[in-house]
Amino acid sequence: MCVRRCVITVGDLGEFGVVNRIAGRLPQGEGVMLGPGDDAAMVAAPDGRVVVSTDLLVERRHFRLDWSGGRDVGRKAAAQNLADIAAMGAVPTSIVVGLGIPAELPVAWLDALTDGFREECAVVGASVVGGDITRSDLVVIGVTALGDLRGRAPVTRSGARPGHVVAVAGRLGYAAAGLALLAAGVAAGSGVLAEAVTAHRRPCPPYEEGPRAAALGASAMLDVSDGLVQDIGHVAAASGVRVELDPGSFAVGEPVAAAAEELGQDPLEWVLTGGEDHALAAVFPPDVRLPPSWQVVGRVVEGEGVLVHGRQVGQGGWDHFR
């Protein structure tokens, strides 16, 4: 009979109970040649190359357990890695997850986290093929994603040339607006403000636009994780060019505009410097005919740095140590 404590925790199950429980919630897709349960997994790399990216998320820094549920955290952790793979022009095939969790963590939260990983991977047809679990006072999540370029060259940050155009696919400023609403304690309820909060909890990267941009001939690409101005600055630096952004060209999303009005902020600030939406920013030669999912927001010229409204701007994004 359960009197004092009815919540089953990770400590109740033990390490191997937890591992088996997680593995049981993870179906394996067709590119997976060996899934969880051994020293390593094995994944197909059909064109003889593999693209790999890793990210580490730490509780209270990348997510708060009172602002996000386990499923949100799983989706977000997977999404930010899968977006890195897409930003190379590749199709994600799999992720592995290193998980540090407290013994007191409810198993239900871990189930939700696992479901979040599985669901976000399913969006792109990828599988969670393996992982590692250990004890930690705060929740720590290391995700590594693998991807397949399908014979194409990777789209790096260094191919932008003067005369090329800069375009963006996906949302900008949504996650930053949602975070600002949460930080201000605004009860977003449902409706347009809630959409911004949801965007903070679960980014919606436009994965399929990565390989599409590569096929269209993109000369440079990255995912916007620290803010567009800062991230496109990496393209400018790696390519040895200047990027001029035209703030007038940005479509400010309705949730971003509504949150800005609610909080008395400038929505464009979030659009230009807000991270975590994992939009894709790419550079294309001028003769490429872009589909409507790509919005032209600037151009590449000779020089260096990033210009907004004709003014050189600082990084204006996120530095984890400053």
Separation between Cα atoms, residue 312 and residue 322, nearest integer Å? 21
User: Given candidates 7, 8, 33, 251, which one binds a copy of itself under the rule CB under 8 A?
Assistant: 33
Separation between Cα atoms, residue 43 and residue 52, nearest integer Å? 12
Find the part of the chain contacting a copy of itself (CB under 8 A) among 179-187, 221-229, 243-251, 259-267: 221-229
Q: What is the DSSP letter of 152?
A: P
208 scored as a contact of a copy of itself (CB under 8 A): no
Closest contact distance (angstroms) between CB of 32 and a copy of itself is: 11
Find the helix or strand (DSSP H, E) in which 306 lies.
strand 305-308
30 scored as a contact of a copy of itself (CB under 8 A): no
127 scored as a contact of a copy of itself (CB under 8 A): no
314 scored as a contact of a copy of itself (CB under 8 A): no
One-letter identity of residue 169? A
Contacts of 174 (CB under 8 A, 6+ apart): 195, 196, 199, 200, 253, 255, 256, 274, 277
Q: Give, as ranges, the residues between 74 and 113 that touch a copy of itself (CB under 8 A).
A: 84-85, 87-88, 90, 94, 96-100, 103
130 scored as a contact of a copy of itself (CB under 8 A): yes
13 scored as a contact of a copy of itself (CB under 8 A): yes
55 scored as a contact of a copy of itself (CB under 8 A): yes
Sign for the CA dihedral angle at 81, 83, 87, 88 comes to positive
23 scored as a contact of a copy of itself (CB under 8 A): no
38 scored as a contact of a copy of itself (CB under 8 A): yes
For a copy of itself, the closer CB: 222 or 268: 222
Q: Give, as ranges, the residues between 138 and 197 that touch a copy of itself (CB under 8 A).
A: 138, 140, 142, 144-147, 149, 154, 156-157
Q: What is the DSSP letter of 63?
A: B
Find the part of the chain contacting a copy of itself (CB under 8 A) among 30-38, 161-169, 191-199, 241-249: 30-38
Query: Tokens for 170?
Result: 């996906």
Q: Are strands 305-308 and 140-148 parallel, antiparallel or unpaired?
A: unpaired
58 scored as a contact of a copy of itself (CB under 8 A): yes
Separation between Cα atoms, residue 157 and residue 280, nearest integer Å? 12
212 scored as a contact of a copy of itself (CB under 8 A): no
Contacts of 42 (CB under 8 A, 6+ apart): 32, 33, 34
Contacts of 8 (CB under 8 A, 6+ apart): 106, 107, 108
Find the part of the chain contacting a copy of itself (CB under 8 A) among 50-58, 185-193, 197-205, 242-250: 50-58
User: Given candidates 23, 57, 65, 122, which one binds a copy of itself under the rule CB under 8 A?
Assistant: 57
Separation between Cα atoms, residue 123 and residue 277, nearest integer Å? 16
User: Given candidates 28, 136, 265, 293, which one binds a copy of itself under the rule CB under 8 A?
Assistant: 136
Task: Give the residues across from 296 on adjacent strands.
Answer: 167
Could you tell me how many residues of this chain bind a copy of itself (CB under 8 A)?
Answer: 73
Closest contact distance (angstroms) between CB of 235 and a copy of itself is: 10
For a copy of itself, the closer CB: 167 or 221: 221
Look-up: residue for tokens 């939406």?
277
51 scored as a contact of a copy of itself (CB under 8 A): yes
For a copy of itself, the closer CB: 286 or 314: 314
Neighbours of 273 (CB within 10 A): 23
Q: Is the distance from CB of 245 to CB of 234 less than 8 angstroms?
A: no
20 scored as a contact of a copy of itself (CB under 8 A): no
Query: Binding mask 229-248 vs a copy of itself (x if CB under 8 A, - otherwise)?
Result: ---------x----------
